[in-house]
Amino acid sequence: MSASITAVADLSDRSIMGDDRLVRTSRVAYVVAVISLIAAAFVAWKQNDPHGLAMIWLQNGIFVLTLSLGAFFFVMVQHITNAGWAVAIRRIAEAQAANLTWIWVLFLVPMFWLLITNREWNGFGHGLAIIWPWADMAHLTEHSPAEGAIVAQKTAFLNPTFFMIRACVYFAFWALATRWFLSTSRRQDQTGDATLSTKMRYAAAPCLILFALTSTFAAVDWIMSLSPAWFSTMFGIYFFAGTCAGGFSIIAIGCLRLQAMGYLRGVITAEHYQDIGKMIWAFGIVFWAYIAFSQYMLIWYGNLPEETVWFLARQVGDWAWVSVALIVGHFFIPFLFFISRWMKRWRGTLAFGALWMLAFSWIDIYWLVMPVVPHDVATFTTYDALAAAYATTSTGLGNPLNYLMLVGFIGLSIGSATGRLSRGSVLCRRDPRLNESLQFENI
Amino acid sequence: MTTFSPQTQTSSPSPSPKSSLLPLYGMMAEFETPAQIMEAAKKVNAAGYRFWDCHVPFPVHGLDKAMGIKRTILPLLVFGAGMTGTIVGFCLQAFTNAASFSIWALVWVTGYPFLISGKPLMSVPAWIPIIFELTILLSALSAVGLMFLMNGLPRLSHPLLSNIRFRRATDDRFFIVIESRDPKFLRSKTEAFMKTLGAKHIEVVEDR
């Protein structure tokens, strides 16, 4: 209809079918991942700190998990709204989301290993207690009685057996759902059956409900229960906002990389980039800040010690700088950076902004997972005394293990996603709304 | 539903003696498809007309570009209004909570310092909801208000609205209207130009 479409979409095989170029990228990513994981194993062996290794593993595991969860949410939300514009980029999100078919290995295998061996970790208790203190109640009660008394009432929920069952349920749902969305979309590539689009739209509704429940409970289980006496009813949604920041950014970067490699020429245009940018801005920046502030303000104003200790742990010593960096770097700077439409439409600025958001969603997860509430917090009479006693608390950001594990896990994630893309079309090429997506223009 | 008068059904303008006494608003060309109006809009733009507009029953993507319309500066103004809200919200609370302002306000004034749950007087977290709300309020009001203002709205009537043919602009026809106040407007020349656009119908619009 519109005569102003100047860029003609290139729908030749060279442009939309995965081939050697993606296989090569995938191999490079795997090689980088394996090298840095070997280096990480060496560094971990040298450092000989099982607790530190477990925490770094958990933090980076959750980071790559959020990237795929964000992409999974993106896929479902486009289906449920019957969105035409996103058809041109949906396959990239589907491939990224389908990493959830194997990410369970990073979580369940070490968890079961900790559970089965059930070793005494010096100073942390048995088995899973090396990460989650509630897993060894005897040790927790002996170590800090006040916290133990609170957590004792939560053991019906927080116990290793139920915890493992829940983890299996989350991963089973994520793996099956993302696999189904990718394979159904691929079936449509072959058959061109328009009813598959309707089917995916119907499936998106219950899947979104299950996604909300599983991601909330996963955040509670794996992150919030690191400080088992603490609670926040906004925690799940905060985690979700973080997944959007990372997940949408990786989709943007994926689209930019594929185009730079010569795929999807004229298929993805500045119009699509602007809309991905809008989603990063709305969900990952503004919504994240809104939720983060709402959570902070309620706890700050209520001023109840069992709630404020969690933020206390994040503002003593060097953690104060990380907290400030998050406010500035996860909200103020990208908010102003991405507010103009041109910053979302130009590839260079979009790539920079998306990488920036990826970096800060990693820091966000780090800030959630790593700080430890001082065990003797109840013995201080004033905040200043506590701040002075813990003034030298280190964030551990200088530990190279963080970055080696990060590169390793991200490498596996990229290698797997690009490998998946190389085995089929990189475009939902027979989706009935493809033409709408190709001609899409922002008003 | 629409009934056409014999005058408006003629395919070339033949103004009646009565209508020729009325001031001229402009020339109107009617098209049947979005593709036609898109092509025509490009030509009108290229011909250098400035006071002209397209009237279509639904958004036609790309028409703005074809007409050569520059992007509105409204977003910048809304950003300014939003920032004003932020600053006003901050200053309002800083002022009302202040114990003294001798230095910055250059006068010795006191606000209404009131201790709430042991928080410091200058507690920025507590102010953020107000700052946020004022930012949103001023942005939203200025977005709507300036949109009306820049579009010349509200207005009680418009010469096009008394044209019977023009009623189909809300249904299935696409119109280009070149106004007589355009410096390049000359009735005979503009009419001749409009005939080259491939319109279904061309008509004079009077300023009733």
Distance, CA of A333 to CA of A363 (rounded, Å): 15
Distance, CA of B109 to CA of B103 (rounded, Å): 10
B26, part of any domain: yes
Contact A441 B60 (CB under 8 A): no
Specify the pLDDT at position A1. Answer: 40
Contact A443 B128 (CB under 8 A): no
User: Is there a contact between A251 and A194 (Cβ–Cβ < 8 Å)?
Assistant: no
Largest CA distance in chain A: 75
Confidence of residue B105 (pLDDT cuts 50, 70, 90): low
Contact A4 B66 (CB under 8 A): yes
B165 and B66 share a domain? yes
**Residues of chain B contacting residue A439, judged by C-beta atoms under 8 Å apart:** 61
Specify the pLDDT at position B207. Answer: 83
B142 and B174 share a domain? no
**Residues of chain B contacting residue A4, judged by C-beta atoms under 8 Å apart:** 38, 61-62, 65-66
Q: Kindly list the residues of chain A whose beta carbon comes within 8 Å of any beta carbon in chain B.
A: 1-5, 293, 296-297, 300-301, 303, 339-341, 439, 441, 443
User: Is there a contact between A109 and A167 (Cβ–Cβ < 8 Å)?
Assistant: no
Confidence of residue A123 (pLDDT cuts 50, 70, 90): confident
Give the gap in angstroms from C-alpha A425 to the nearest C-alpha of chain B. Answer: 29
> In the sheet where B24-31 sits, what is the strand order?
B52-55, B174-179, B24-31, B201-206
For B35, the closest of A3, A293, A300 (CB atoms) is: A3
Specify the pLDDT at position A379. Answer: 85
User: pLDDT averaged over chain A?
Assistant: 93
Give the gap in angstroms from C-alpha A1 to the nearest C-alpha of chain B. Answer: 6
How many of the other CB atoms lie within 10 Å of CB of A290? 14
Beta B201-206 vs B52-55: how paired, if at all? Answer: unpaired
Contact B128 A300 (CB under 8 A): no
Specify the pLDDT at position B70. Answer: 87
Specify the pLDDT at position A408. Answer: 97
pLDDT digits (tens, 9 = 90+) for A279-327: 999 999 999 999 999 999 999 999 888 899 999 999 999 999 999 999 9
Give the gap in angstroms from C-alpha A310 to the nearest C-alpha of chain B. Answer: 17
B66 and B162 share a domain? yes
Which tokens sit at A20? 């050697």
Specify the pLDDT at position A7. Answer: 60
**Better-predicted residue by pLDDT, B199 or B208:** B199
pLDDT above 80: residue A5: no
For A441, the closest of B39, B61, B128 (CB atoms) is: B61
Share of chain B above pLDDT 70, in %: 85
Confidence of residue B2 (pLDDT cuts 50, 70, 90): very low
Confidence of residue B206 (pLDDT cuts 50, 70, 90): confident
Give the gap in angstroms from C-alpha B63 to the nearest C-alpha of chain A. Answer: 8
B3, part of any domain: no
Give the gap in angstroms from C-alpha A18 to the nearest C-alpha of chain B. Answer: 32
Specify the pLDDT at position A319. Answer: 95
pLDDT above 80: residue A176: yes
B4, part of any domain: no
Specify the pLDDT at position A136. Answer: 93
Q: ω before B34 within 30° of 0 (cis)?
A: no
pTM above 0.95, yes or no: no
Confidence of residue A71 (pLDDT cuts 50, 70, 90): very high
B24 and B124 share a domain? no
Give the gap in angstroms from C-alpha B116 to the nearest C-alpha of chain A. Answer: 9
Flag whether residue B125 sits within 8 Å of chain A, measured between CB atoms.
yes
User: Is there a contact between B184 and B48 (Cβ–Cβ < 8 Å)?
Assistant: yes
B20 and B113 share a domain? no
Confidence of residue A122 (pLDDT cuts 50, 70, 90): confident
pLDDT above 70: residue B5: no
**Residues of chain B contacting residue A281, judged by C-beta atoms under 8 Å apart:** none
Contact A443 B118 (CB under 8 A): no
B1, part of any domain: no
B135 and B189 share a domain? no
Among the residue ranges A225-239, A281-295, A339-353, B193-207, the one predicted with the least confidence is B193-207
A228: buried, middle or exposed (CB in 10 Å: 19+, 13-18, 0-12)? buried
pLDDT digits (tens, 9 = 90+) for B157-173: 888 888 888 999 999 99
Among the residue ranges A62-76, A239-253, B51-65, B107-121, the one predicted with the least confidence is B107-121
* Closest to A357 measured CA to CA, from A253, A237, A249, A272: A249
**Residues of chain A contacting residue B128, judged by C-beta atoms under 8 Å apart:** 293, 297
Specify the pLDDT at position B120. Answer: 83
B2, part of any domain: no
Specify the pLDDT at position A215. Answer: 96
B193 and B131 share a domain? no
B2 φ, ψ to 5°?
Answer: -70, 130
Flag whether residue B83 sits within 8 Å of chain A, measured between CB atoms.
no
B91 and B144 share a domain? yes
Which residue of B lies nearest to A436 if distances are taken between CA atoms?
A: B61
Confidence of residue B12 (pLDDT cuts 50, 70, 90): very low
**Residues of chain B contacting residue A3, judged by C-beta atoms under 8 Å apart:** 35, 38-39, 62, 66
Taking CB atoms and an 8 Å cut-off, how many pairs form between chains A and B?
Answer: 43
For B62, the closest of A2, A293, A339 (CB atoms) is: A2
Which residue of A lies nearest to B119 if distances are taken between CA atoms?
A: A301
Share of chain A above pLDDT 90, in %: 85
Distance (Å) of CA A229 to CA A45, A219, A308: 32, 15, 11
B161 and B101 share a domain? no
Domain boundary among B111, B126, B150: B150
Residue identified by tokens 């139920």 is: A162
Q: Which amino acid is at A358?
A: L
Specify the pLDDT at position A152. Answer: 94
Specify the pLDDT at position A407. Answer: 97
Specify the pLDDT at position B163. Answer: 87
B133, part of any domain: yes
Q: What is the mean pLDDT of residues B34-40?
A: 90
pLDDT digits (tens, 9 = 90+) for A386-410: 999 998 888 999 999 999 999 999 9
B85, part of any domain: yes
Give the gap in angstroms from C-alpha B31 to the nearest C-alpha of chain A. Answer: 15
Contact B35 A297 (CB under 8 A): no
B108, part of any domain: yes
**Better-predicted residue by pLDDT, A255 or B72:** A255
Specify the pLDDT at position A55. Answer: 96
Flag whether residue B129 sits within 8 Å of chain A, measured between CB atoms.
yes
Contact B66 A1 (CB under 8 A): no
Host domain of residue B81:
74-150
**Residues of chain A contacting residue B118, judged by C-beta atoms under 8 Å apart:** 303
Number of domains in chain B: 2
Specify the pLDDT at position A411. Answer: 97
For chain A, give the number of residues.
Answer: 443
B83 and B146 share a domain? yes
B139 and B79 share a domain? yes
B84 and B131 share a domain? yes
User: pLDDT averaged over chain B?
Assistant: 84
Give the gap in angstroms from C-alpha B3 to the nearest C-alpha of chain A. Answer: 30
**Residues of chain A contacting residue B66, judged by C-beta atoms under 8 Å apart:** 3-4
